[in-house]
């Protein structure tokens, strides 16, 4: 008898059927061959993960190079005074906070290709617009629109990965968000330095060329990358029919985690009243004051420590390289050991120490060394915080609301970090560095509280199961079938 594609997929998939006579229902347990499932994941690693890195690198570059542009004349040309640069960052962050949840919901509803493709088109136009701003007001409007377009990009990819990879493997893929920040930070400094040496061309200042060239690069590379993104992961263009069937079976197997295809309104209230969402979001907020300000203000910090402007951009490169190495190592072991809180809380220490070095010492070399210590913990915190909440919320609808909502709470920190380094507080920026250090210490205690909360939930479930309970009357991640990763 000939086999069709669906039969072929079942060749290495076993099913067991259990009948509940009291309820008159039948449950099918699907066991997919691990080798087949791993082979499908490798295809997503080849076609989707690199595209996420490219998109996130370029979007972060477009957003953070405003800090590099500031080093060579942006403030003077646009006429910024006092804390107006910080105001631009603060007001732009409002759009980030407001648009994160809608973008992730759009990704769930219409797929990654449509949602992320739309965001790409919008932020590219805003990047080009930045090159031609003439006033403070125009700059605010342009950057607010750019942040609104980019708001959900990282979270959209994190959500996409949560539908493809098992919970214990998601961290290495979600890591692309902060790996991209490291790459764009290093590349941004080198790129900005190269543009800076161009000087004024065709009547346009070097910082204006910075955004024009970024726009051209973004449109070409991300435009090509858009074709690689799947609409639905179960129908990805690069999968064979057998592989598509494997992904469909995986979705059925993970039904308890994934939930219904349709949007269920009940999960809005459940997600927004879950203490874990609020506690982790608050912890993420306190740690993100240091994280969000770092990319934009690192050139400002180094410049304030007394280095010449031409040195500032290339001196950021080794800092980001070390950050990428630390990020990769810690996320790898976090996935391998299935531990999140241990690494997150541990990473708070070098961040606080690095900022305090800048506070306590007037020596510019000590301040620069502090950036190296700081960056060893900076990026793993945010990557693992996003991974922690993404892989501990179920089903998809709750995750699509709770995950970006917690991230939005974190991004409220931009309203603070955008004000931490006004030019009048240079060259050491003692208040800003001290606040960043103090809030990072608070974050360590809050992340530890998240661990206690989830540990308590797991203990309650284990006790009920040991006592013979088959249900606790709850759904999604709070049901007895779900064990939180700590």
Query: Phi/psi of residue 28, each to 5°?
Result: -110, 120
Q: Could you tell me what percent of the chain has a pLDDT over 70?
A: 87
Query: Phi/psi of residue 89, each to 5°?
Result: -65, -40
CA atoms within 13 A on the CB side of 56: 24
Which tokens hold the place of 384?
């693992």
CA–CA gap between residue 153 and residue 351 (Å, rounded) = 25
Contact assessment for residue 246 and residue 32, using Cβ atoms and an 8 Å cutoff: yes
Structure confidence at residue 457 (pLDDT): 96
pLDDT digit string (tens) for 187-241? 776 777 788 788 778 778 888 998 999 899 999 998 888 888 888 888 888 999 9
Helix/strand/coil for 393: coil
pLDDT digit string (tens) for 389-441? 999 998 888 999 999 999 888 888 877 776 776 667 766 778 888 888 999 99
Calculate mean pLDDT across residues 378-395: 92
Which tokens hold the place of 278?
């609020």
pLDDT digit string (tens) for 250-284? 888 776 666 666 778 889 999 999 999 999 999 99
Residue 260 Cα distances to 117, 256, 263, 294, angstroms:
25, 9, 7, 40
pLDDT digit string (tens) for 154-200? 889 988 998 898 888 888 888 888 888 788 777 776 777 788 788 77
- Count of all residues that appear for the chain in the document: 486
Which tokens hold the place of 426?
């240079």
CA–CA gap between residue 443 and residue 421 (Å, rounded) = 21
What residues are paired with 26 via a beta bridge? 19
CA–CA gap between residue 189 and residue 314 (Å, rounded) = 5
Calculate mean pLDDT across residues 436-455: 96
Structure confidence at residue 22 (pLDDT): 34
Closest-CA residue to 144 (of 115, 122, 160): 122
Domains, in order of start, for the chain: 34-234+244-249+264-478 (1.20.1250.20)
Structure confidence at residue 299 (pLDDT): 66
**Helix ranges restricted to H, 227-363:** 241-253, 255-258, 266-272, 275-304, 309-315, 317-337, 341-360
CA–CA gap between residue 437 and residue 422 (Å, rounded) = 17
Cis omega (within 30 of 0) on the bond before 312?
no
Buried b / exposed e along 280-308 (16+ C-beta atoms within 10 A)? bbbbbbbbbbbbbbbbbbbbbbbbbbbbe
């Amino acid at each position: 008898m000939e086999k069709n594609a669906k039969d072929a997929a079942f060749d290495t998939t076993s099913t067991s059927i259990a009948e509940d006579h009291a309820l008159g229902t039948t449950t099918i347990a699907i066991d997919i061959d691990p080798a087949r499932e791993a082979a499908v994941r490798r295809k997503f690693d080849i076609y989707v993960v690199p595209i996420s890195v490219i998109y996130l690198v370029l979007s972060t570059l477009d957003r953070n190079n405003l800090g590099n542009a500031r080093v060579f004349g942006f403030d003077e040309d646009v006429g910024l005074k006092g804390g107006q640069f910080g105001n631009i960052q603060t007001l732009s962050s409002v759009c980030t906070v407001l648009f994160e949840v809608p973008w992730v919901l759009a990704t769930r509803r219409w797929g990654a290709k449509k949602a992320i493709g739309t965001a790409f088109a919008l932020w590219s136009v805003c990047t080009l617009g930045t090159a031609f701003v003439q006033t403070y007001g125009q700059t605010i409007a342009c950057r607010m629109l750019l942040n609104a377009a980019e708001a959900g990009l990282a979270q959209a990819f994190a959500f996409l990965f949560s539908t493809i990879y098992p919970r214990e493997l998601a961290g290495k893929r979600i890591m692309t968000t902060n790996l991209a920040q490291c790459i764009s930070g290093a590349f941004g400094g080198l790129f900005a330095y190269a543009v800076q040496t161009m000087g004024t061309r065709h009547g346009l200042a070097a910082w204006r060329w910075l955004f024009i060239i970024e726009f051209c690069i973004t449109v070409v590379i991300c435009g090509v990358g858009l074709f690689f993104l799947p609409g639905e992961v179960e129908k990805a263009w690069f999968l064979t029919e057998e592989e598509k069937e494997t992904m469909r079976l995986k979705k059925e197997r993970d039904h308890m985690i994934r939930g219904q295809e349709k949007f269920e309104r009940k999960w809005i209230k459940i997600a927004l009243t879950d203490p874990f969402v609020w506690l982790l979001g608050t912890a993420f907020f306190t740690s993100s004051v240091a994280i969000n300000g770092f990319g934009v203000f690192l050139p400002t910090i180094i410049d304030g420590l007394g280095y010449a402007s031409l040195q500032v951009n290339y001196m950021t490169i080794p800092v980001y390289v070390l950050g990428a190495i630390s990020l990769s190592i810690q996320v790898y072991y976090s996935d391998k050991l299935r531990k999140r809180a241990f690494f997150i809380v541990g990473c708070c220490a070098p961040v606080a120490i690095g900022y305090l070095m800048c506070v306590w010492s007037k020596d510019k070399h000590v301040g620069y060394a502090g950036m190296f210590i700081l960056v060893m913990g900076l990026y793993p915190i945010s990557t693992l915080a996003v991974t922690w909440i993404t892989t501990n919320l179920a089903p998809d609808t709750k995750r699509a609301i709770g995950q970006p909502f917690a991230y939005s709470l974190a991004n409220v920190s931009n309203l603070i970090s955008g004000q931490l380094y006004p030019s009048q507080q240079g060259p050491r920026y003692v208040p800003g560095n001290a606040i960043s250090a103090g809030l990072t210490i608070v974050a360590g205690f809050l992340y530890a509280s998240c661990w206690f909360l989830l540990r308590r939930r797991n203990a309650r479930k284990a006790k009920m199961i040991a006592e013979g309970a088959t249900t606790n009357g709850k759904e999604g991640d709070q049901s007895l079938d779900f064990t939180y990763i700590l």
